[in-house]
């Protein structure tokens, strides 16, 4: 997924689906080759899993995953999407001679009644920024609980979330400290807003100062909606002497049913994806020496008013050669 509703300030349900109606957002996702080629490999290289199976594509968009599944031998594919992009998907499926294999249904997955009771495989590309932004995983879980046959498979079926810390002095100055003095005026009231908003951006792998910590592993086959509200500890270790200006987070995705498991990462060390990384600036820089650790607790929950938004809290403490820090930082994305 590629939705950045937060930037526009529009967060209504209508806006959410409208934003997927234009081909531009789908262009960004299709052109994300790490994303799309991973899905394709997981489907094309596993014809033995797809042969003669009933497949459900949750949020089919332009129909790309449905067509991969049909080409991989599925008996029939049902593609569901609420957005008007499905009108294009119908044309595309037709233009590719796959209408007899793929049925596209416009509607909210939560409300749609499929013409079959059960499906063998669910495919979906539901991942948002910081993995969980937009909460589309909730929709996949509804589809799973309603339609997945016992022993059925989900593509992808594993997600792992990571945290690390970075040196980012120059950019922090540009994005956060900028508000201290705007043409001679005190704009620091905006600074306190800006620091609360995680920044979705690409981070140079060389900026990463610490070891990564996998703080959350999600098994899509078994996870419950309530598990997506969580508080977890983390511990990261400085790999050199440096300053820390922010935490960053990213996720890896796994298709482990495959004959040869397919994985991709959205981390700073991996090839660019449209998910980039998510940056959480700390109020003060932390001076770390090689081997010193930052310990903390990260909480994540859907926002009470708009459940597609996320409230993220990072509490951390550091006891180092160059000082001690204890902070409580609240973010909203």
Residue 108 binds ligand SAH (CB under 6 A): yes
Per DSSP, helices labelled H in the chain are 5-8, 13-18, 23-31, 33-44, 47-50, 64-71, 85-95, 136-147, 169-175, 188-194
Q: Is 173 a catalytic residue?
A: no
Q: How far is the CB of 33 from ligand SAH (least distance, A)?
A: 12
Q: How far is the CB of 320 from ligand SAH (least distance, A)?
A: 43
Of 188, 186, 191, the closest CA to residue 172 belongs to 191
Residue 70 binds ligand SAH (CB under 6 A): no
Residue 168 binds ligand SAH (CB under 6 A): no
Q: How far is the CB of 111 from ligand SAH (least distance, A)?
A: 8
Q: Which residue is nearest to ligand SAH (CB)?
A: 59
- Residues linked to residue 257 through DSSP beta bridges, in sequence order: none
The total number of residues shown for the chain amounts to 333
**Which residue in the set 20, 133, 179, 250 belongs to the binding site for ligand SAH (CB under 6 A)?**
20
Q: How far is the CB of 202 from ligand SAH (least distance, A)?
A: 21
**Which residue in the set 139, 237, 273, 282 belongs to the binding site for ligand SAH (CB under 6 A)?**
139
**Which residue in the set 65, 207, 262, 294 belongs to the binding site for ligand SAH (CB under 6 A)?**
65
Site string for ligand SAH, 264-303 (x = CB under 6 A): ----------------------------------------
Residue 230 binds ligand SAH (CB under 6 A): no
**Which residue in the set 54, 64, 298, 310 belongs to the binding site for ligand SAH (CB under 6 A)?**
64
Residue 59 binds ligand SAH (CB under 6 A): yes
Residue closer to ligand SAH (CB basis): 64 or 294: 64
Residue 141 binds ligand SAH (CB under 6 A): no
Q: How far is the CB of 260 from ligand SAH (least distance, A)?
A: 22
**Which residue in the set 68, 81, 127, 137 belongs to the binding site for ligand SAH (CB under 6 A)?**
81
Residue closer to ligand SAH (CB basis): 82 or 199: 82
Number of residues that bind ligand SAH (CB under 6 A): 23
Q: Which residues of 98-108 are buried (b: 16+ CB within 10 A; e: fewer)?
A: beebbbbbbee
Residues 6+ apart with CB under 8 A from 239: 208, 209, 210, 211, 290
Strands 76-81 and 54-58: parallel
List the catalytic residue out of 28, 33, 110, 134. 134
**Which residue in the set 1, 119, 253, 286 belongs to the binding site for ligand SAH (CB under 6 A)?**
1
Residue closer to ligand SAH (CB basis): 3 or 237: 3
Residue with tokens 């180092």: 320
Residue 92 binds ligand SAH (CB under 6 A): no
Q: Is 125 a catalytic residue?
A: yes
Residue closer to ligand SAH (CB basis): 68 or 281: 68
Binding residues vs ligand SAH (CB under 6 A): 1, 17, 20, 26, 29-30, 59-62, 64-65, 80-83, 85, 108-110, 125, 136, 139
Q: Which residues are catalytic?
A: 125, 134
């Amino acid at each position: 997924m590629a939705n950045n509703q937060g930037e526009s300030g529009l967060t209504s349900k209508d806006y959410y689906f409208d934003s997927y109606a234009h081909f531009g957002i789908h262009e960004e996702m299709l052109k994300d080759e790490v994303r799309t080629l991973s899905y394709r490999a997981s489907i094309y290289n596993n014809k033995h899993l797809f042969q003669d199976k009933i497949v459900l594509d949750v949020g089919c968009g332009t129909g790309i995953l449905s067509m991969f599944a049909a080409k991989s031998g599925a008996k029939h594919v049902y593609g569901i999407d609420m957005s008007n992009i499905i009108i294009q998907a119908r044309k595309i499926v037709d233009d590719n001679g796959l209408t007899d294999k793929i049925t596209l249904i416009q509607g909210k997955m939560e409300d749609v009644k499929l013409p079959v009771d059960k499906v063998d495989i669910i495919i979906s590309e539901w991942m948002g920024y910081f993995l969980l932004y937009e909460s589309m995983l909730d929709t996949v879980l509804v589809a799973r609980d309603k339609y997945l046959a016992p022993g059925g498979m989900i593509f992808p079926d594993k997600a792992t979330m990571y945290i690390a810390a970075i040196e980012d002095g120059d950019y922090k100055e540009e994005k956060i400290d900028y508000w201290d003095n705007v043409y001679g005026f005190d704009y620091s009231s905006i600074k306190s807003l800006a620091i609360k908003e995680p920044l979705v951006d690409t981070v140079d792998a060389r900026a990463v100062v610490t070891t990564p910590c996998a703080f959350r592993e999600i098994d899509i086959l078994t996870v419950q909606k309530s598990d997506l509200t969580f508080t977890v500890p983390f511990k990261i270790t400085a790999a050199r002497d440096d300053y820390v200006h922010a935490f960053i987070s990213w996720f890896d995705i796994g298709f482990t049913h495959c004959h040869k498991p397919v994985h991709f990462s959205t981390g700073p060390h991996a090839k660019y994806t449209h998910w980039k990384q998510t940056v959480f600036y700390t109020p003060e820089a932390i001076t770390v020496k090689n081997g010193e650790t930052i310990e903390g607790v990260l909480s994540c929950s859907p926002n009470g008013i708009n459940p597609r938004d996320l409230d993220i809290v990072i509490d951390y403490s550091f006891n180092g050669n160059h000082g001690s820090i204890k902070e409580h930082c609240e973010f909203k994305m």
